[in-house]
Each structure stands twice: as C-alpha cells, then as structure tokens.
Amino acid sequence: MPEQDAATPPAPARRPVCEAALALQLRRLNRAGTPPWLHAEVARRMAERLPLIRLQPPRVLDWGVFLGASQALLAQAYPKAQWLGLEPDAERRRATAQALARPWWSPQRWTGHAPALIDGAEPPPGGAELLWSNMHLHAVAEPQALLRRWQRAIAVDGFLMFSTLGPGTLGELRALYAAAGWPAPFAPLVDMHDLGDMLVAAGFADPVMDQETVTLSWPSADALLAELRGLGGNADPRRHPGLRTPRWRARLAAALQARADAAGRIPLSFEIVYGHAFKPPPRPRVAAQTTVPLEDLRSMARAGRRPA
C-alpha cells in the first residue's frame, strides 16, 4: 500500500449517511427469505482467493452470517476449522441460532467443530485466526470503527478477508439521476485506497486491496428496481425528503428503459472491492514507563515475543 501524501487529507472516519435509514434497510434485508444473489456471487469469488493463503485457521469468524451467504464456502475451504458466526442484527441472530440448533445426539456436538453463533454483537478479543466479512462494510456509517472491532477480534498473526461495494457502483444510475436534476440515488461509498489507509490506522499490516466490476442486466425497469431494493436503499442524507409519486417512478422507469442494449436488457455496473490484511503482534513503544494491556502481553507470550 503506497504511503499517503502528507498533503492529502485522511479519509473521514464517518460516511455521510442517514443512520436511521441505513438501519431500516438492514432490518428489511435481514427479514428476507434469502440473501441477495449478488452477495452469494461475491462470496464465491472471494472464496476463490483463499487458496493463495497458506495459513490454515483453526477458528473462522463469519461476520454477518445471513447476508454474507458464505457459511458453506467457508466449511468447504476449512473443513477442520471451527466456524463461529456473528449476526449484528438481533432479530436475524435469533433466526440463525434456531437454524444452527442441533439435537443433543448430533455427532457434531462431540467433534469440537460444531458451528457456533456468538451470543451478542461483540466477539471475544483474539477469538479467531480468520475474520471473514462478505458485503457488510458498505452497510455501516463508520467503517473505521468497524475495522478496529475486527482487528480486536482477530488473533495475532491471523488475517482478515472482506468484500464491500466501491464508489464505482451504479455509476450509470447516479449519472441518470444527475441528468434529471434529482438528488443522489444512494449514499457515497468508500474508495479502496481509503480503506487501505483505514486498515493501517486500525492496526492491520500488509493490506492488499483489489477491485473488479461486475455488470448485471435486467429485462425490464421493474425487474431492475425490484432487485436494487433487495440490495438496500437510499441512505443519503440529501435524498428526496418525502415519498415519490407514481408519475416520478414512471419517469425513472422510462429513463432506465432508454438505456437498454440491443437485446432489450438494461445493464448496471457494481464495483466490488476486496480487502486482505494480517494482524501483527503488538509492539508497545519503550518509554520511562510503558503500559501494556494484559491481552497484548498474552498475545506476545504466545508468539514468543517481548515488548520492543
């Protein structure tokens, strides 16, 4: 990751979003019968990168189980690892716990590798060697704060794998809204270079950022708008303050249909950002008096290191 220019201001820790609207959208998505198709596809693509990493984590923490759509992929990649799940949404956490519940005679209860859901919204410090988060980071208002939580949850020398939407997502839709004089259709997304800087600031090492563009197409404007609703909504604080009229929706549908290709399908692009980083051992600075947290001392002892 290139060093940040001293004249370049740091990326803001908080995104300009309406947190109430963001929370409402997440509750709606978590009540759906299945996670979005795009989430499952991105999970598959991210799992293809796991063979590049030689570390075999004994514990895998899946952050955002339902919407991440990754449990089967992680079990296939690491069949001997203990799978730990975390659901930020309390209602979905109850539903996931019921789905994971097994009878007392289930063999998995005695193997030591039975799937387990973390009780609450905060994992124990250093509780996993791999923290996996698929398509979750763009759904929070303060990505920097979430990266710090992830760093605490990973064991020393463990690693992070995540995916999120980048600012190139739905550029065609944003241009359409701008041409019509309408407010933005969705809240701003964080650039991958800024995410790399945030990883370093959160205490990660050797961050690697990558991105790709996935183009989807639909046979009609109605099908397109239905799927976009299944991916989220507009949490931009500058969005239209009230309900839109049927006449406005007809204008939007017509503008989208005008973008159809020769086959009559309407394409839109999604920028998918992938991030990977390691958690290095703690290195407290030596001073006349140095305070080292007890958990850091334990981590250094396990790694066979002394305070630098």
pLDDT band at 168 (very low <50, low <70, confident <90, very high): very high
Among 29-43, 234-248, 285-299, where is mean pLDDT lowest?
Answer: 285-299
Superfamily of domain 19-303: Vaccinia Virus protein VP39 (3.40.50.150)
Q: Where are the domains of the chain?
A: 19-303
pLDDT band at 156 (very low <50, low <70, confident <90, very high): very high
What is the average pLDDT across 192-205? 97
- Please report the pLDDT score of residue 115 as a whole number: 85
pLDDT band at 120 (very low <50, low <70, confident <90, very high): confident
Q: pLDDT tens digits, residue range 68-90?
A: 999 999 999 999 999 999 999 88
- Please report the pLDDT score of residue 110 as a whole number: 42
More confident residue, 111 or 304: 304
Task: Map the chain to HEC letters.
Answer: CCCCCCCCCCCCCCCCCCHHHHHHHHHHHHCCCCCCHHHHHHHHHHHCCHHHCCCCCCEEEEECHHHHCCHHHHHHHCCCCEEEEECCCHHHHHHHHHHHCCCCCCHHHCCCCCCEECCCCCCCCCCEEEEEEECCHHHCCCHHHHHHHHHHHEEEEEEEEEEEECCCCCHHHHHHHHHHCCCCCCCCCCCHHHHHHHHHHCCCEEEEEEEEEEEEEECCHHHHHHHHHCCCCCCCCCCCCCCCCHHHHHHHHHHHHCCCCCCCCEEEEEEEEEEEEECCCCCCCCCCCCCCCHHHHHHHHHHCCCCC
